[in-house]
Chain A
Amino acid sequence: MNFSDDHHFHVATTYPFDAGIGLNRDTVAYISQVKNEEPWLRAFRFQALERFWEMPMPPRLKSHGIDDLDFHSIRYYLANHQGPQRTWDEVPTEVRMTFDRLGIPELERKFLAGVEAQFDSEAAYNRIQDAIAKEGVIFVDSAVGLKKHPEIFKPYFASVVPIGDNKFSALNSAVFSGGSFIYVPKGIKVQQPLQAYFRINAQNFGQFERTLIIVDEGAEVTYMEGCTAPRFGTATLHSAVVELIALKGAKIQYITVQNWSNNVYNLVTKRGVAHENAEIRWIDCNIGSRLTVKYPTILLQGEKARGEVLSIALASDGQIQDTGAKMIHLASNTSSNIIAKSISKGNGWASYRGMIHIHPQLENCKNNTQCDALLINHHSRSDTHPQIIIHGNRHWVQHEASVAKIDEERLYYLQQRGIPPGQAMSLCVNGFVNELIQEFPLEYSVELRRLIDLEIHARQ
Chain B
Amino acid sequence: MPTLEIRNLTLYRGEKCILDDFSLTIPTGEMHALMGKNGMGKSSLAKAIAGHPDYAMTKGEIIFDGEDIGQLPPELRAQRGIFLAFQHPIEIPGVSLSNFIRSAMNAQNKKMETVAFYKLLYENMDHLGLNREFSSRAMNMGFSGGEKKRCEVLQILMLRPSFVLLDEIDSGLDIDALKVISESLNALRSESFSGLLITHYPRLFDNITPQKVHILESGKITHSGGLEIVRHLETMGYTFTDHNESSGKEMAKSGGV
Interface status of B90 (Cβ within 8 A of chain A):
yes
* Chain A 390-435 interface residues, beta-carbon cutoff 8 Å to B: 407-410, 412-421, 423-424, 427-428, 430-435
Is A413 a contact of B107 with CB atoms below 8 Å?
no
Other-chain residue from B53, B93, B104, B138 in contact with A417 (beta carbon distance below 8 A):
B104
- For residue A421, which residues in chain B have a CB less than 8 angstroms away from its CB? 73, 75
Docked Cα-Cα span, A427 to B95, in Å, equals 7
Closest chain A residue, CB of each to CB of B110: A418
Docked Cα-Cα span, A301 to B155, in Å, equals 53
Docked Cα-Cα span, A409 to B86, in Å, equals 11
From DSSP, what is the main secondary structure of chain B's interface residues? mixed
Is B86 a contact of A423 with CB atoms below 8 Å?
no
- Chain A: interface residue total (CB-CB under 8 A): 24
Docked Cα-Cα span, A433 to B91, in Å, equals 16
Is A427 a contact of B92 with CB atoms below 8 Å?
yes
Is A419 a contact of B104 with CB atoms below 8 Å?
yes
Interface status of B52 (Cβ within 8 A of chain A):
yes
Is B51 a contact of A416 with CB atoms below 8 Å?
yes
Interface status of B94 (Cβ within 8 A of chain A):
yes
- Given A416-B74, A419-B104, does the pair A432, B93 have CB atoms closer than 8 Å? yes
0 or 1 for each of B10-39: is its CB under 8 Å from A? (1 = yes): 000000000000000000000000000000
Is B90 a contact of A413 with CB atoms below 8 Å?
yes
Is B95 a contact of A408 with CB atoms below 8 Å?
no
Taking the nearest CB of chain B, how far is it from the CB of A409, in angstroms?
Answer: 5
- For residue B103, which residues in chain A have a CB less than 8 angstroms away from its CB? 414, 417, 419, 423, 427
Is A413 a contact of B86 with CB atoms below 8 Å?
yes
Docked Cα-Cα span, A213 to B32, in Å, equals 70
* Chain A 145-172 interface residues, beta-carbon cutoff 8 Å to B: none
Other-chain residue from A407, A409, A412, A428 in contact with B95 (beta carbon distance below 8 A):
A428
- For residue B83, which residues in chain A have a CB less than 8 angstroms away from its CB? 416-417
Is A433 a contact of B107 with CB atoms below 8 Å?
no
- For residue A409, which residues in chain B have a CB less than 8 angstroms away from its CB? 90
Interface status of B201 (Cβ within 8 A of chain A):
no
- For residue A418, which residues in chain B have a CB less than 8 angstroms away from its CB? 75, 78-79, 104, 107-108, 159
- For residue A413, which residues in chain B have a CB less than 8 angstroms away from its CB? 86, 89-90, 92
- For residue A433, which residues in chain B have a CB less than 8 angstroms away from its CB? 94
Is A420 a contact of B92 with CB atoms below 8 Å?
no
- For residue A419, which residues in chain B have a CB less than 8 angstroms away from its CB? 75, 103-104, 107
Is A431 a contact of B94 with CB atoms below 8 Å?
yes
Other-chain residue from A415, A416, A423, A431 in contact with B92 (beta carbon distance below 8 A):
A431
User: Which size class do B's interface residues fall under?
Assistant: 20 to 34
Is B74 a contact of A412 with CB atoms below 8 Å?
yes
Is A431 a contact of B95 with CB atoms below 8 Å?
yes
Docked Cα-Cα span, A414 to B78, in Å, equals 10
Taking the nearest CB of chain B, how far is it from the CB of A267, in angstroms?
Answer: 31
Taking the nearest CB of chain B, how far is it from the CB of A403, in angstroms?
Answer: 14
Docked Cα-Cα span, A436 to B51, in Å, equals 34
Is B94 a contact of A416 with CB atoms below 8 Å?
no
Is A410 a contact of B92 with CB atoms below 8 Å?
yes
Is A412 a contact of B107 with CB atoms below 8 Å?
no
Interface status of B153 (Cβ within 8 A of chain A):
no
Is A415 a contact of B84 with CB atoms below 8 Å?
no
* Chain B 52-106 interface residues, beta-carbon cutoff 8 Å to A: 52-53, 73-75, 77-79, 83-84, 86, 89-95, 99-100, 103-104
Docked Cα-Cα span, A435 to B96, in Å, equals 12
Docked Cα-Cα span, A410 to B104, in Å, equals 14
Other-chain residue from A407, A408, A423, A434 in contact with B94 (beta carbon distance below 8 A):
A434
Is B93 a contact of A431 with CB atoms below 8 Å?
yes
Other-chain residue from B53, B75, B95, B100 in contact with A420 (beta carbon distance below 8 A):
B75
- For residue B95, which residues in chain A have a CB less than 8 angstroms away from its CB? 427-428, 430-431, 434
Docked Cα-Cα span, A431 to B74, in Å, equals 21
Taking the nearest CB of chain A, how far is it from the CB of B44, in angstroms?
Answer: 13
Interface status of B197 (Cβ within 8 A of chain A):
no
Is A415 a contact of B75 with CB atoms below 8 Å?
yes
- For residue B107, which residues in chain A have a CB less than 8 angstroms away from its CB? 417-420, 423
Interface status of B4 (Cβ within 8 A of chain A):
no
Closest chain A residue, CB of each to CB of B138: A431
Other-chain residue from B51, B74, B90, B108 in contact with A410 (beta carbon distance below 8 A):
B90
Taking the nearest CB of chain B, how far is it from the CB of A339, in angstroms?
Answer: 13
Docked Cα-Cα span, A415 to B53, in Å, equals 11
Closest chain B residue, CB of each to CB of A407: B90
Closest chain B residue, CB of each to CB of A420: B75
Docked Cα-Cα span, A432 to B138, in Å, equals 11
Taking the nearest CB of chain A, how far is it from the CB of B73, in angstroms?
Answer: 7
Query: Which of A409, A419, A433 has most chain B Cβ within 10 Å?
Result: A419
Is A415 a contact of B86 with CB atoms below 8 Å?
no
Docked Cα-Cα span, A430 to B92, in Å, equals 11
Is B78 a contact of A416 with CB atoms below 8 Å?
yes
* Chain B 134-187 interface residues, beta-carbon cutoff 8 Å to A: 138, 155, 159
Q: A414-B100, A417-B159, A434-B95 are known; give 5 further A-B pairs, CB within 8 A.
A: A407-B90, A409-B90, A410-B91, A418-B79, A419-B107
Which 9 A-B residue pairings sit nearest by Cβ, starting from the closest?
A431-B94, A434-B94, A417-B104, A418-B78, A413-B90, A431-B95, A418-B108, A415-B74, A418-B107
Chain A interface residues toward B at CB < 8 A: 407-410, 412-421, 423-424, 427-428, 430-435
